[in-house]
Amino acid sequence: MTPHPGDLLTAALAREIADSGISVYAVTSPASVAAALAARALGASDLALATGFTALDAEPVPSVTLGEAGLFTSGAALVDDPFDTFALLARGRVGVAVAPAQIDAAGRTNLSGVGPPGRPKVALPGARGLPDNNASPSRVWYLLPAHSPRQLVERVDVVCGAVPPARATRRLLTPAGCFELCSSGWQAVWLTPDGEDLVAGAPGLGIGLSGSEPVVTAPDAAALAAVEQVDPHGVRLIEFSAGADAAARYQAAAAREASR
Amino acid sequence: MAAARALAAAGRRNLVVVSFLGSLDVELLLAAGCVRTLHSAGVALDGAGLAPRYRVGRQERTIEFVEWSEGTLLCALQATARGVPSLPTWTALDTDLPAVNANVREAADPFTGERVMQIRALALDVAILHVPAVDSRGNAYVEGDFAVDGALARAAGRVYVSHEQTVADDPRRAVLSRLWVDGLVPAPAGAWPTGCHPHYPADLEVVSRWAAEGASAGAELLTEAAR
């Protein structure tokens, strides 16, 4: 059976986080939270979770949830200065997974809008932390639910995140596989069974394939088990769904949270 | 949200709003026609999707949108808190931020010549914060993340804190000293339909409805009467 891309990619991200050596992981979306929690069970037991700008070592750890409130912690407030986040970023000690609306062949990112800067035809959320993350030596994963030519482009419309520093590690996880930004552009680390076709369908990113890339047919079993342990209801799959399926999953998760 | 509801009910217009990361609070102010200029690093409804009024406002340019990154906006607030006209930062070089925000400008560090982004101070007339608890002296208490509310308070001329409840004095646990607080406003459920940990989570049904209807729905969906 073909694995759900949400399971494959969340498990892959969990393994990536566990093996990365970072000190702090900044949680964002449900899949990102699930991956970070699973990474702790995969060997990164000391990984600190940042659930915002001042809760840099959240304890108890957050749960996988739809609403922001679920990302907050119980107990006494953590009163770290919000600048700690940026100091840690600047030292390369942080990891974060983000989902830009566009990523380009040089690793630039966009979450501001489609169209010229300041005159969007389609306005998106805004630059958020992309200018900060991309400029840092810290670890950034781009986690996308589709390998789409609309998102993976030769040049982004608005440069929110600039070309990353030369030695910074940037990896892209999509239903086509895992890709790393190198000096020569994006290179495949591994592909899914559909990866070659998906890569060919989004040529703007300029991914070069040698034909000898490993093909991953199933999720990392230990990583997936760890993910399912922390996210038994599959909240992570909402961000890998679309249309009616996504709406139904969201409503089910919202109803579950309302009854807690 | 309680303060946004009050501003909307009072018919305020032409506000310059600074929202570090906005949500339904910004949506309500936009729907009520209160906003002339919006400074923010982003506005969205998280899992429920994009923020419809914000999208329309930017696309049709019915508001002036000043786009920041999280790091540059925090830097601008800290410049005000420190009493300096600007501060340098390492973020946002080679981005389009300077094209859409005149407060962000590339410069050369005077000591090394290194390229930096120089961020102009952003001063707020008033900061309005909502917290789970205050004590009798006005110290504010938050469990978990205080986000950048402390930076907003220190960049503001006056600070008003709405709160869910009053608790016993324990200033060592406070995240914001009374020294920064000019006024307290009791506002139980004041964050609704967003959440206020540990009192209540976000009302995801309302968030979801707003995501679906917000561009056409009126601000009444977010009023106290709708709760």
- Average pLDDT over chain A, rounded to whole? 90
* Rounded CA separation B59/B46 (Å): 20
B176 and B100 in a single domain? The answer is no
Contact of A114 with A120, CB cutoff 8 Å = yes
Q: Do A123 and B202 touch (CB under 8 A)?
A: no
* pLDDT score of A69: 47
Q: H or E element: which one contains A6?
A: helix A5-20
Q: Which two tokens stand for residue B77?
A: 């607030």
Neighbours of B170 (CB within 10 A): 12
Residue B16 counted as domain residue:
yes
DSSP state of B222: G
- A with B: how many residue pairs have Cβ under 8 Å apart? 182
B116 and B127 in a single domain? The answer is no
Q: Given 3-state DSSP classes, what are the helix, strand and coil percentages for chain B, each rounded to the nearest 5?
A: 30, 30, 40
B94 and B132 in a single domain? The answer is no
Q: Which two tokens stand for residue A119?
A: 């005159």
B174 and B187 in a single domain? The answer is yes
In the predicted model, is pLDDT for residue A76 greater than 50?
A: no
B23 and B46 in a single domain? The answer is yes
* pLDDT score of B167: 98
DSSP state of B200: B
Residues of chain B found within 8 Å of residue A239, distances taken between Cβ atoms: 47
Residue B79 counted as domain residue:
no
Residue that has been written with the tokens 């076709």 in this structure: A197
DSSP state of B50: B
A52 touches chain B (CB under 8 A): yes
- pLDDT > 70 fraction of chain B, expressed in percent and rounded: 99
Average pLDDT for A195-206: 97
B207 and B147 in a single domain? The answer is yes
CATH label of the domain that carries residue B166: 3.40.1080.10
* pLDDT score of A59: 66
Residue B75 counted as domain residue:
no
Q: Do A131 and B91 touch (CB under 8 A)?
A: yes
Average pLDDT for A173-201: 97
| Cβ-nearest to B143 among A68, A73, A90 | A73
Q: Do B142 and A77 touch (CB under 8 A)?
A: yes
Residue that has been written with the tokens 């400029």 in this structure: A135
* pLDDT score of A1: 62
Range of the domain at B187: 2-67+123-222
Average pLDDT for A25-48: 92
Q: How confident is the model at residue A255 (pLDDT cuts 50, 70, 90)?
A: confident
A101 touches chain B (CB under 8 A): no
B92 touches chain A (CB under 8 A): yes
Give the residue from B1, B62, B69 with the most A CB atoms within 10 Å of its CB, the best one to mutate: B69
Q: Given 3-state DSSP classes, what are the helix, strand and coil percentages for chain A, each rounded to the nearest 5?
A: 35, 20, 50
Q: Which residue has the higher pLDDT, B219 or A60?
A: B219
Q: Do B67 and A126 touch (CB under 8 A)?
A: yes
Number of domains in chain B: 2
B98 and B156 in a single domain? The answer is no
Q: Do A73 and B55 touch (CB under 8 A)?
A: no
* Rounded CA separation B86/A254 (Å): 43
B34 and B59 in a single domain? The answer is yes
In the predicted model, is pLDDT for residue A46 greater than 80?
A: yes
Q: Which residue has the higher pLDDT, A84 or B2?
A: B2
Q: Do B74 and A83 touch (CB under 8 A)?
A: yes
Q: What CATH number should be reported for the domain whose range is A5-258?
A: 3.40.1080.10
Strand blocks (E) in chain B: 15-19, 35-40, 64-67, 86-89, 104-108, 115-120, 124-135, 140-141, 156-167, 183-186
* pLDDT score of A61: 66
In the predicted model, is pLDDT for residue A75 greater than 60?
A: no
227 residues of chain B, pLDDT tens digit each: 999 999 999 999 999 999 999 999 999 999 999 999 999 999 999 778 899 999 999 999 999 999 999 999 999 999 999 999 999 999 999 999 999 999 999 999 999 999 999 999 999 999 999 999 999 999 999 887 788 999 999 999 999 999 999 999 999 889 999 999 999 999 999 999 988 888 888 888 888 889 988 777 777 777 766 77
Q: Do B46 and A52 touch (CB under 8 A)?
A: no
Residues of chain B found within 8 Å of residue A145, distances taken between Cβ atoms: none
* pLDDT score of A242: 86
Which of the given ranges, A70-79, A136-145, B207-216, has the highest pLDDT on average?
A136-145
Nearest-10 Cα torsion for A69, A71, A74, A77: -90
Q: Do A128 and B21 touch (CB under 8 A)?
A: yes
**Strands A170-174 and A177-182, sheet pairing:** antiparallel
* pLDDT score of A77: 46
Residue ranges of the domains in chain A? Answer: 5-258
Q: Do B144 and A77 touch (CB under 8 A)?
A: yes
* pLDDT score of B46: 79
In DSSP notation, A16-61 reads HHHHH--SEEE--SHHHHHHHHHHHHTT-TT-EEE-SSS-TT-SSP
Residues of chain A found within 8 Å of residue B93, distances taken between Cβ atoms: 135, 162
Residue B129 counted as domain residue:
yes
Q: H or E element: which one contains B74?
A: helix B70-82
* Rounded CA separation B85/B185 (Å): 32
A244 touches chain B (CB under 8 A): no
Residue B74 counted as domain residue:
no
How far from A104 is each of A92, A134, A179, A185, CA to CA, in Å? 23, 13, 13, 10
- Sheet with B156-167: list strands edge to edge: B140-141, B124-135, B156-167, B183-186
Residue B50 counted as domain residue:
yes
Contact of A69 with A98, CB cutoff 8 Å = no
B47 and B155 in a single domain? The answer is yes
A63 touches chain B (CB under 8 A): no
In the predicted model, is pLDDT for residue A66 greater than 70?
A: no
HSE at residue A208, side-chain half, CA atoms within 13 A, is 8
